[in-house]
Amino acid sequence: MLQVREPRTGKDQMLIVTSNWSIPDGTLYRPLPVDRADDFLRAVKRAALRFGFRRDGNYRPITHIDLVLAGDTSDWLVSREWTQKIRPWQGGSRTTEMFQRVASSSLRSGARFFARLSRLVRRGIALPSPDKRSRPDPKATQPTPVRITLLSGDRDRWLGHPMVAPLAVGHCLGIGTSWSSRSVIVCHGDTSDPLSGGSYCQPSQERFGDATALTSDRQPTLAESLAVDLLARFGVAIFEQRDLKIPLASLLRRMATGWPLDMPRQLAAWLTAPGTGELLDGRAKKCLVDTWQRAVGHWHREARRGDPCSDLECDSLDRLADWMSCIEGPTTADCSRNRLHELLEPSVFSLTDHCLPENQHSEANRPLRTVVLGHPPAERSLSANVGQRSTVCLGGPRLPDATESLLLHDSNGATGSCIVPSGQRIGCSLPAAIALLDSEAEKDGYGGVDFIS
């Protein structure tokens, strides 16, 4: 996999970074509605037009646009396919065959999304040309070229496999593990998450020289174990309860795209939320809770055999199982929350020290270098002082401690809060996106920052 560097093709360029679209294979939950992609692309065009108005009051259209999807564009873990004997962290040809089936189904599930990205690369974005007074001319437009790069994340880290890469290239999309320009570094940043291995055992980005074998046997990360042996297992079990006539796919999407330790609170909130909770009688709710408890028991047994790697203490599996079981009763939940306090505070890890590729560390510490990470929650974004680096995170927020204060929105995802480098807090829906202007006329490199969704 590559570290993608931005070629210098113009003096006024815009960078768009988005993350966590989580396109599944469709066996357990569905991708976001295609209207969400259309809204996002319209927001990109509005940002490009807005950034054309410069600080001197004149209009100079953007000359080039880079769109970087900073990981987890696809979700190749939460799938019915991995709930039998084969797991994605096992080696061998059967794992490769299974992976090919999951990845192909995911690409088909997101076909309309990828088709829109491909069309954007082919056609570019039409922006108004400037008139003689340096104002946009509504009667004259000029195409602005767009480059799109997909970065691998913890849910689609096999993006560079020879079976997948040609499909991305066929859509005119680039592939890499990180993206950088003179002023910005972009990567997924899941290594700041103790559930994803942290500094201890983060799975390497495989460099696939052999197209017939996916990877050798390895330990799963705790996040992978929870996604496959808990959530996917729970999804299969509840779909087998055919008498539950409720929108289970939306529940699974919320649980799959959020912080793994929030899954029991996601379930508790969903069971009582207006629009879903009243559809369930007491028997149906008990059935869901019992199914979840059985899935937690299954995960606990599998985890003790497979020994997922993490930065956590040796007794963390038992404590995690206790935490995951607590979806009812404030006393038990509060007890588990106190015992797992350190798991909910991944801020002990340095974002740039753990998230960036090794060859990017020295560049990240240059003055006025901006780091954009797709995985860490938005509240971990760091404001920059004069002459210092800023870090912007696009991951979903943690849920509040009290499920009663959780407002469940439609199936497009939860609403989060994002922080721009100036420290201003802006509401945005997930997946989030940030737009930055790279202009030679701006003394600080990237002269504008704007959350566009």
% of the chain exceeding 90 in pLDDT: 26
Q: Please return the burial class of 348, using the count of CB atoms within 10 Å of its CB with bins 0-12, 13-18 and 19+.
A: exposed
CB 172, CB 148: distance < 8 Å: yes
- Reply yes or no on whether the pLDDT at 362 is more than 70: no
Q: What is the pLDDT of residues 317-347, one digit of tens each?
A: 888 888 898 886 444 444 444 445 455 454 4
The structure tokens 């993490």 sit at: 310
Radius of gyration of the chain (CA): 22
Q: Is the four-CA dihedral 278, 239, 241, 269 of positive or negative sign?
A: negative
pLDDT tier for residue 66 given thresholds of 50, 70 and 90: very high
Mean pLDDT for the chain? 75
User: Is-contact 376 70, C-beta < 8 A?
Assistant: no
Helical packing angle, 282-306 and 316-325, nearest 10°: 170
Tell me, what's the pLDDT at 57? Answer: 85
What is the spatial distance between Cα 33 and Cα 98, in angstroms, rounded to a whole number? 26
Pairing of strands 433-439, 425-429: unpaired
- CB-based contacts of 300: which residues, under 8 Å, 6+ apart? 317, 318, 321
pLDDT computed for residue 115 by the predictor:
92
Q: Are 272 and 403 in contact (CB under 8 A)?
A: yes
pLDDT at 299: 94
Rounded Cα gap, residues 142 and 64, in angstroms: 11
3-state secondary structure of 98: helix
Which range of 13-22, 207-216, 420-429 scores highest in mean pLDDT? It is: 13-22
pLDDT at 398: 75
- Flag whether pLDDT at 452 surpasses 70: no
| Residue of 340, 349, 315 whose CA lies nearest to 200 | 349
For residue 208, give every residue at least 6 positions away whose Cβ sits within 8 Å of its Cβ, in sequence order, or none: 160, 161, 162
Q: pLDDT (tens digit, 9 = 90+) per residue, 261-278? A: 889 988 888 888 776 666
pLDDT at 404: 36
Mean pLDDT of all residues in 425-441: 62
CA separation for the pair 374, 147 (Å, rounded) = 18
DSSP readout, 53-93?
B-TTS-B---SEEEEEEES-SB--SS-GGGGSS--TTS-SH
Residue 79 in contact with residue 252, Cβ under 8 Å? no
- Average pLDDT (83-90) is 90
- Given a contact cutoff of 8 angstroms between Cβ atoms, the answer to whether 45 and 96 are in contact is no
CA proximity to 448, closest of 125, 153, 57, 15: 15
Structural element, H or E, at residue 267:
helix 263-272
Q: Tokens 């976001």, residue?
A: 32
Mean local confidence (pLDDT), 89-97: 86
pLDDT of residue 386: 47
pLDDT of residue 244: 63
Q: In the numeric block, which tokens belong to residue 199?
A: 């500094």
pLDDT of 422 above 50? no
Tokens representing residue 40 in the block? 């996002």
3-class state of residue 322 by DSSP: helix
Q: Which of 271, 244, 267, 245 is nearest to 255 (CA)?
A: 267
The reported pLDDT for the residue numbered 209 is 43
- For residue 312, name the pLDDT band (cuts at 50, 70, 90): low
Could you tell me which of 346, 30, 352 has the C-alpha nearest to residue 197?
Answer: 346
Is the preceding peptide bond at 431 cis, omega within 30 degrees of 0? Answer: yes
Contact 17, 375 (CB under 8 A): no
Q: Tell me the per-residue pLDDT of 179-237, one tens digit each, with 9 for 90 and over.
A: 988 788 899 988 878 787 654 454 544 444 444 445 567 888 899 999 999 999 999 99
Residue percentage of the chain with pLDDT more than 70:
68
Are 445 and 183 within 8 A, CB to CB? yes
In the prediction, which pLDDT does 71 show? 92
pLDDT in tens, 119-165: 999 999 999 998 889 888 888 988 999 999 999 999 998 887 777 77
* pLDDT, average across residues 40-61: 89
pLDDT the model gives residue 305: 87
Confidence of residue 295 (pLDDT cuts 50, 70, 90): very high
- Predicted confidence at residue 123, as pLDDT, reads 93
